[in-house]
Structures are given as C-alpha cells and as structure tokens.
Structure 1
Amino acid sequence: MDWETHARRLADEVVRSESRWHGPLATTPRHVFVPRWWRSGEQGWELRDGAADTDAWMASAYADRTLVTRVGALHADDAEPGAVMVPGGYPTSSSTLPGLVVAMHRHAMVTSDARVLVTTGSGYGTALMCHRLGDDQVTSVDVDPHLVGTARDRLASIGLRPHLAAADITGPLPGEYDRIISTVSVRPVPTSWLEALRPGGRLVTTIAGTGLILTADKTADGGAAGRIQPDPAGFMRARHGVDYGPPANEVWAVAECGDGEEVTTCRYPLLYPTDAWDVMSMLALAVPDIEYRCQENDDSRTVWLLHADGSWARATATEFLASPTVHQGGPRRLWRELERIRNRLNRMGTLPIYGARATITPDGVLTLSRGGWTATV
C-alpha cells in the first residue's frame, strides 16, 4: 500500500515545503489511526471500512478533512460491518482535519525543547507532535480509556511511544508543560491548565459553542493573557463521560410547531447561525449552550434555537430574501439576542470578537475585550 505518496501530497496541500510541519505530515500514516470511520448520509451515520476499499481509504485518510470515528458511545472500530446509525447522534470523537491540527500547533509556537500536552482522539495529532519534537516531550490525554489504549497501540505500531493517560482534560493534569494544546473546546478555561503551565507557557484551545481560537501565555500572577486569533475553528466540546448530555428534546417538543408567547417578523433574511462563525460566536458568548436545528423544504427553510432552560425560537422563511416569521417561547427571547448581534454587525460592519484581547484570572475567569466591547466567560 503506497500511503507515502498520499501523505506527501497531503503535506504539500497543507503547508509549504520549508515548514517544520511538512516532514511530520509527509511521514505520518494517518490511515493507521482511522481504519474505520462514520460518514453522515441520507439514512444516518454510515460506517466506512478502509480495508474493504483501499482506494477510498487512502482518498479519505489523506484528505484535509475531519473523519468522525465515534458517534454517541459507539466507536467505528466496534461497529458491525455495514452499520448505519439513525440520524441525531452526536459525534464524540474524530480525527480532526490535518490542516486545523497543524494550525493549532502553530498557534502554540512550539519550541524544540518544549514539553507539550495534547488531546488524544484518534492519536493522529499526537503522532504529528511526536514527529516534530520526539516521544519523550509529548503527553497525550483523553477522557476515554478505550481511545487512549487504541491510540497507544497504533502509535506503537509506527514506533512512537509518547506519555499517554486517561484523564478529563478539564481536571487535574499528569505533569507540567510548556504548551497545552486542546483540540476539544472548553468553557471556562480549566484552572488546572494554569496550574500545569510552566512560567511563560502557552495554552491554545477553542471556547465551547463558538468558533474562537484562544491563545494565552501564563502571567506572573498565575493567570494568563493573550488574544482571540483571527482564524475561526470549531471542535467538539470536552465531555466528561461516555457521551454528551441528552439533546434539548423536551424543548423541541414545544418548539417544533408551537406558537409560543411571541410572534414577530424578523427584519433580516433568515440566518442559520452556524453558517456565520462571528455571529454564532457572539451569540454563544451572550447565551451559552444553544442547540441549533435546521430544516429545508422545497419552498421554505426553518431554523430553531433551543435551550435547556426552556427558551426556544423558530424562524421560517419561504424565500431567500423574505422576512422570516419568528415564534419564541420560554424565559428568554433567543431570536431577539440574535437580532441584537445582527443589528451591531449591520451598524458597524464588523463584530469585535476576532482579534479581541483575552485575560484569564488565576481562578479561570476569561475576559475578552476590544474597543468598548467586553465579554466575560
């Protein structure tokens, strides 16, 4: 199997040849870490088995895209051949697209003598860091002992033996580090990271529910200071068990067709917030943990915003530029929050989040600021 040709092509696509990450990309066999994966299809999550179609395996493994390896509690490795999972399950682990893994590593400004903590997942990102620094300088953690064990075996099969541990990334960490790079999103920034960072060390992560990459360097008071990077990224939330909590189905039962307490007409064309990173991120800072759903028919599109506190909004438009009709219920008016952000964008021409300064207190309180705007996480 000529995987090397595919890996070199991937490296050429992701970075320039003189990049220090070109070698790791070109020499790491990603297919070893993703022998099976889930692909979203019309019937739900469909299992893909690399050994059954090696051409498709090479094309998928060495494409710059994310491959979902676990949905709910079921890892692709453990699924029955030909398995299809019904729609609605949430991905709980993946092999992140290589370009984004490298981008997070670059934001960390890794030095040749740095000791680095990364998150495990499939183990591919860990392998890249090992090729960049050497095994002994890399620690990799995941909340799922099965994933850690599988990654350990696959890393060893290509001659890599970093330090691996089953640990909740938001809890105590097994050592001290110059860099902490989390490819799962968190909110708030765990205080254990600040404790585990050496003086001047850097953390790189994303804020849960947003598209915001946060980089921050440890300060003398035990906190950290940095900024929101200009490029967006989205990662799965850090989970603390086998699966995430249940979706907002009780709210959905009301929101799907209910009239609600308020019916209005929106002044802007219908927006699905996840299609606009900056708008979604601003909304998530104001109201964390919104669940989004969308449905399209031949002549209409409907967007739902759902929250576990019972708040919901449903907006439907029959044409692309038509003003949608909005139904809202529960203790908060979620669509009103969304419109407030769109009003600011319309008035200012931009939103303040990308490039915002970030300060983290020793007890983990994150404050973002730019101009006269501030937000506390």
Structure 2
Amino acid sequence: MTGVSGAAGRAAARGLLGRLSETRPLTPEWEAAFHGVPRHAFLPDTVWLGDELTPCDRAREPETWLRAAYADAPVVTQVNDGEEPGPEGERWPSSSASAPGVVFRMLDMLGLEGGERVVEVGTGTGWNTGLLAHRLGSSLVTSVEVDEGLAARARGALASVGVEPRGVTGDGSVVVTDGVDRLLATCAVRRVPERWLSAVAPGGVVLTPWESPWLCFGLLRLTVRGDGSADGRFHPHAAFMLMRGQRTDLRIFRDVVRDGHVPEESATRLAPWNVTGEHWAARFAVGLQLPDVWCVWQHDPGVPGVRSRLWVATTDATSWAAVDDAGAAAGPAGSAFTVWEHGSRRLWREVESAHRWWREAGGPGPGDFGMTVTPDGRHTAWLGRPGRRVPRAA
C-alpha cells in the first residue's frame, strides 16, 4: 500500500501531479510529500462516486477506483457516519478525501517554513495528516478525529507510509493541543470554536472551511492576536462537510411548516434564483447577514401555476417564507413573485434587505469579506477592513 504499483498507478500519479502543476505548481517540499505520502494509500477499498453515491470496490473495479484516487476531485470515503442506510436506503456523505488541488492550496495558506507545531481538526482519511508529517516531522503534528472508525483506519494508513503523528480521538472543537502555531480544520464551521483561539499562540494561524446555513463556501484564514482575538479574510472556491457538532438536521415539511399555519401573502420583485444557484457572491453575502437562515428549493410543488418554490426558514424552525416561481407564466423582467411568510420574522424581507445591501456595496465577492472573532466567541463580519461591519439584515 505504500507505493503506487504498476504502470497504470504510476501514470495516474504523474497525471495528477501534472494537472496540479498547471494551476498551482507544488513547492519542492510539497512535491516530495506528494510522492512520499501517496493518496491511494489513504482511500478505503470502497469509495462512493457521483451524485448517486454509487459504491466502487477496489477489487472489482480497480481501474475506476484508481482513477478516483488520482483525480483532482473529492472522493466520498464514508456514508451515513459509517452506519448502514436506513429503511429507505438513503445514502448521504459523511466523510471524504478532499480534492488534491484544494488540499495543497490550504497547506500553502498555512505559510509553513519548518519547525511549526500544527494541530489538524478532522483526520478523515489521514492524507492531509501524512503530508504535514512528511513536511514537518511527525513529532510536530497532532490530528484530531471524532469518528473512532475513521481514526483507526487513518492510523493504519499513516503507519503504512512511515509517519507517526500524534492522533487523538475526540471532539475537535474542544480537544486540541495548546501552544500550537497553526490550526488547520478539514471540516467546515458556522462558528469558530473559542477553544481554537486559545490553543494557537499569538501570531499563529487558524485556517478553516466556512459555512453559513445559506451557503457552504470558502475558507477563513485568521491570525491570532496577543489579546486572544483573531481576524482575517475569507478566500473562495472550497466546500467541506460541516463539523459534526454543528450539524442541523432540518426539513421543511417535517420540522418547519405545519398544517395550521396561516401565512401572510405579499409580492416581491427580487427573483428567488438571484440569491440561490450559481450566484455565489450574493449567496455568500446573504449568508453573512443572515447566519441563522437556510433555504431549499421544492420543484413541482403541486400548486397550480407554480413551477417551483423557494422555501426559507430559520434554524430554530420558528419562522418561514416561500417564494413562488411561475416559470414561463412569470412575465417579463421585473415581474412580481408571490411571497408567503409565517412566524415572528418576515424572512423574505430580510433576504431582500441583505441582497439590497450587497448590491449597493458594489456586489463584492467572498474574498472581499473578513471576520473578527473575540475570545468570548463573538463573530463580526466585515467588508474590506475590520471596522466596516457587515450589517445583520432586518
């Protein structure tokens, strides 16, 4: 398992290295780690591919498995937290090997020069851990994993390539090493745990994927200050699974909308797809302003004249809104869309306010925003520079 066997495997590894070099050439140190810690050694014999999460077994489909191992794409390595699918047979991804291009970009963002003490939150397959241990030495790397099965498998994979970083099984939001220079998370957070800031020495870096309930997108790179606070900018083009302790399992018709609800009807000229879909910049800005609001599309809702409906709700399931898309019947640009709202908050009005602020600010992208986090856990988003606060929409 410690090397790529056969001509096909060696060619696959060379191909991946070539693709990575076309967009972001690896430094000599990371290229050495790429060869010394081969990605295939960290993937389980069964991975899940495509939107349908189709199982791919290494023994039965070796060529497909190898292509997945050396594609510059994420690979799902666990479904359903390692449990068997329920009665309906639904699979959902619970752990993955991140796309190599994103992995090496994040490692670069740590700004390592050698000698830094690093804690990683989210061991997963162990590949990131192995790359760090190869670069810095095993004694300087600690990795924390909440899932005992994943942690055990990662230990075996790391031993197979000759590195032995410290592994800890537990909740990465609280179980981390003190006095480290870098903290790297491989799971997204909606709030930066206070423990992370106290664990990192002043001048050190916290790098974590970011998620709001509205959009999972981006990386947040924070520098820890002498007073225990931290601030830094967001960086685009990354999406990770949410830290298990911050998950919310919400469904519109199971948890939010009730038969007895009598919504208030109104209209909007803000097209619902302007804050969803491929509108990444608008979605990111809405998520920063409405950190407790999420949305989901319902296609063919069974309502005459309505092609699809955007549902919006609070994470405490106390307020909701729905915006109807009538498709071809919606009329020309600027036509109104029907809005239904229930609860103490008028959520679509809040979305309109958030979108209006973003538009009047010039339509900034994720990289234009930053965040300040204080030792007591207060999060303040800002645009351009600390002090120019992003408002909470209302």
Q: Is the 8 A contact 1:204 1:215 kept in 2?
A: yes
More moved, 339-348 vs 53-62 = 339-348
> How much has 1:290 moved relative to structure 2?
3.5
How much identity, in percent, do the aligned residues show?
30
CA shift digits 1:310-368 (9 cap, x unpaired)? 32233332438855433332332332222223323443431375233433322232322
1:33 and 2:48 equivalent?
no
Residue number in structure 1 paired with 2:307:
300
Partner of 2:133: 130
CA–CA distance in structure 2, aligned partners of residues 167 and 111 of structure 1:
29
Query: In structure 1, what is the equivalent of residue 257 of structure 2?
Result: 254
Query: How far apart, in 2, do the equivalents of 1:70 and 1:245 lie?
Result: 19
Q: Which moved more, 1:199-208 or 1:332-341?
A: 332-341
Local SS of the residue matching 2:130 = helix
Distance 1:38 1:93 in 2: 10
Q: Using the TM superposition, give the Cα deviation of residue 180 of structure 1 relative to its aligned residue in structure 2, in angstroms.
A: 0.3
Residue ranges of structure 2 left out of the alignment (5+ in a row) = none
After superposition, give the CA deviation of every residue in 1:157-216 in whole Å (9 maximum; x if it has no partner).
222211111121111313431100112122322221122112321111133324242212
Which residue identity does 2:20 align to in structure 1?
V
Runs of at least 5 residues in structure 1 that lack an aligned partner in the other structure: none
1:43-74: CA deviations, max 9, x gaps? x5432222210110111111111122223333
Structure 1 position 221 matched with structure 2 position 230: no
| Cα distance in 1 for residues equivalent to 2:356 and 2:275 | 16
Q: Does 1:310 align with 2:342?
A: no
Contact 1:179–1:202 (CA under 8 A) maintained in structure 2: yes
Please tell me the root mean square deviation across aligned C-alpha atoms, in Å: 3.2
* Residue 74 to residue 175, structure 1, CA distance change in 2 (3 Å): same
SS, match of residue 316 in structure 1: strand
2:327 is matched with which residue? 319
Q: Any idea what SS the aligned residue of 1:103 has?
A: helix
How much has 1:84 moved relative to structure 2? Answer: 11
Deviates more, 1:49-58 or 1:65-74: 65-74
Per the alignment, residue 389 of structure 2 pairs with: 374
Q: What does residue 59 of structure 1 align with?
A: 67
**Inter-partner Cα distance in structure 2 for 1:173 and 1:376:** 32
- After superposition, the C-alpha distances for 1:86-129 in whole angstroms (9 at most, x for unaligned) are 44x54321111111122222221122111111121121221222
Q: 1:193-342, aligned counterparts within 5 Å?
A: 193-209=196-212, 210-229=216-235, 231-240=236-245, 244-250=247-253, 254=257, 260-268=263-271, 270-271=273-274, 273=276, 275-296=278-299, 300-307=307-314, 308-319=316-327, 323=335, 324-342=337-355
Larger Rg: 2
Q: Cα deviation per residue 1:227-250 (whole Å; 9 max; x = unaligned)?
A: 223x23222221139xx4432355
Does the CA-based 8 Å contact 1:315-1:325 persist in structure 2? yes
* TM-score normalised to structure 2 length: 0.81
CA 1:327–1:14 in 2, change beyond 3 Å: closer, same or farther?
farther
**Does the CA contact (< 8 Å) of 2:123 and 2:144 recur in 1?**
yes
Identify if the C-alpha distance between structure 1 residues 267 and 187 changes in structure 2 by more than 3 Å, giving closer, same or farther.
closer
**Equivalent residue letter for 1:116:** V
| 1:350 alignment partner, SS class | coil
Quick one: distance in 1 between partners of 2:73 and 2:249?
A: 27
Q: Does 1:47 align with 2:52?
A: no
SS in 1 for 2:389: strand
Q: Deviations over 1:282-322 (max 9, x none)?
A: 22223224343224459934332233333223333243885
